[in-house]
Amino acid sequence: MATAVFRSYDQRELDLQYSPSSCVDDVEGYFHEYTRRSAEARREIEGFVEVRYGDEPDQVLDFFPAKTHGSPLLVFLHGGYWQEFSRREAAFMAMDLTAQGVSVAALGYGLAPRYTLPEIVTMVSEGVRWICRNTDGLPGSPRRVVLSGCSAGAHLVAMALLDEIGWRREGVRPTEAIAGAVLLSGVYDLDPVRRTYVNSPLGLDVDTALACSPRHLPLTGLPPLVIARGENETTEFARQHTEFVAAVRQAGGCVSDLVVPGRNHFDLPFDLGDPGTSLGAAVRRLFVPSVGGDAR
């Protein structure tokens, strides 16, 4: 009998639980669509610009301005288990959102193994605060800022919001700078992750996994959250979702909890820019009343 390495899972089962592609037939098709739509956005959206937010080579964001001055801004963090993909595949919602009067920033960050996970967390947190500090200097001077991320990107968004020292240094609270956040199919407790194949380039130990787990940090002072996952995800991704929603609510946070029928880990993010979907409508509500306006 195989030995359990986490809960009732043996190594093979746990690796499968943290392999989202196990729930889909053709994961490469989704990656191709991310790339295609993001390239279209860079080609078609007037005013697209690359903006450097730090000194590291990967500290660059792709910015897609809406035509309305003072429009809200969606900042998106890509997934890939902190070791794959880039901002170049992370603007697939930009065509839809800019047409609705919402600017988009696809935030780039360095990957493992070149960077440790704490370094990646710091890099992203700095990028988020840089955007909030420099909105007046970005094209269209966006105002109301909403963060979003998928999978590892959701984890990084949560960690950026929970960076108490960084926000204190900035002189503002997250709720003063960020209107809300959309966390898609996230991993919020890294203890099981460090026990899987995912950890090979990350090198997480017990202490680092705990320190980088939003689930185990104080969850007070957060802006309104949309926490969503697809119906077709592994049991562990569903557990991560359910337990994080409960923890944020227990801490007094405002959460919209979405489990989207028919969606999986990879196609759920396409709904971000579609207000006719439950996710797109929830995102839209985070921007109200500033869509087309100038209120922070």
In a domain, 296, yes or no: no
Alpha carbons 132 and 146: distance in angstroms, whole number: 10
| Residue ranges in the chain whose pLDDT is less than 70 | 1, 289-296
Look up residue 268 and give its two tokens. 């759920």
In a domain, 292, yes or no: no
**Predicted TM-score (pTM) above 0.85:** yes
Q: Which residues pair with 228 in a beta bridge?
A: 184, 258
In a domain, 264, yes or no: yes
In a domain, 294, yes or no: no
In a domain, 19, yes or no: yes
In a domain, 51, yes or no: yes
Range of the domain at 213: 4-287
Determine contact, residues 186/158, Cβ cutoff 8 Å. Answer: yes
In a domain, 295, yes or no: no
3-state secondary structure of 260: strand
In a domain, 293, yes or no: no
Q: Tens of pLDDT along 78-127?
A: 999 999 999 999 999 999 999 999 999 999 999 999 999 999 999 999 99
Phi-psi domain of 245 (left: phi exceeds 0; alpha: psi -120 through 50; beta: other)? alpha
Task: State how many domains the chain has.
Answer: 1
Alpha carbons 115 and 218: distance in angstroms, whole number: 25
Q: Residues 223, 224, 225, 226: is their CA dihedral positive or negative?
A: negative
pLDDT, position 188: 98
In CATH, what number is assigned to the domain containing residue 19? 3.40.50.1820
